[in-house]
Every structure is written in structure tokens, then in C-alpha cells.
Amino acid sequence: MTKVIGAPPPEQPTPPTAAEELDQALAHAWIVAAEIKVEERVAKLADFRGSFTTVAGTRVDALEVYCRNCRRPYEDVAEDDCEALIDNRHLIGGDQTQRAKRKIPQPPSNARIVPGGVIQRRGIGAYVSGVSRPAR
């Protein structure tokens, strides 16, 4: 690096203040679920690698636009702050202490419960019996 005599020193970036950090934390990170028509060879590559490259000028149909952090749709929360760091209970179905407990169904009065056999879910026995491999 060369120094120029008499030149002012380069400006150092200033660290963000607490208010700026809070504004950044409350900002939405918008992402788009998209649909792109591709050829069979590109589809095969995308399936194998999990990504692919498109050519310039490819039109992309947006299926949904939502925030990556709070997972809420753009049209619902575009003017609001992101609530992912504040309160994320909406992702788990609300406040767990306020939700009703699951009801266990009662068998009919004339029903008799018969214990079933033991199902082997691990090991070679499970593989041979078809428990651990997908049905074709």
C-alpha cells in the first residue's frame, strides 16, 4: 500500500449505535418463494446439488413473499417491525400455557383393549420386515 504525503487518513467505519442495532434487528429480511421453468437436465442438476444457475433474462414467478425471520407474509406485516426477536409465539401456535390440552379419545364402553405384538423398528429384523425401508 502506498501512502500519499499530506493526504487525510482514510475514514474508519463507526460501529453502529444501540438504536441502529435495534432498528436492524427489527427489520424484515424479505425472501421470495419462486417458480422457475427449467429443462430436464437443469432439473436433474438442481435435484442433485440443491441449486442451479439460470440464464440472464429468465422470468421468475413469485409464489409467495415473506420474512425469513418471522415467517409472516409481506402483505400482513410490510409496515410493521419484525417480531421474530420480540415475540415468536405465533410460530408455535400461541402461548403454550393458554392452549387447551389434547383430548385422549375414550374407547366405547363395550370395547376390550388387546395388547399388540412387539414391532422391531431397528436392526436387520426391521429391514427384512420392511419397517425401515420405503414402500415401492
Question: Is residue 42 scored above 70 in pLDDT?
Answer: yes
Do the domain assignments include residue 64? yes
What is the residue range of 91's domain? 18-95
Do the domain assignments include residue 26? yes
- Range of 2-16, 34-48, 77-91 with top mean pLDDT: 34-48
Do the domain assignments include residue 122? no
Overall pTM > 0.95 = no
* Confidence (pLDDT) at 41: 93
Radius of gyration of the CA atoms of the chain, in A? 28
Do the domain assignments include residue 65? yes
For 25-67, the DSSP string reads HTS--EEEEEE----HHHHHHHHHHS---PPTT---EEEEEEE
Do the domain assignments include residue 78? yes
Do the domain assignments include residue 58? yes
Domain count, the chain: 1
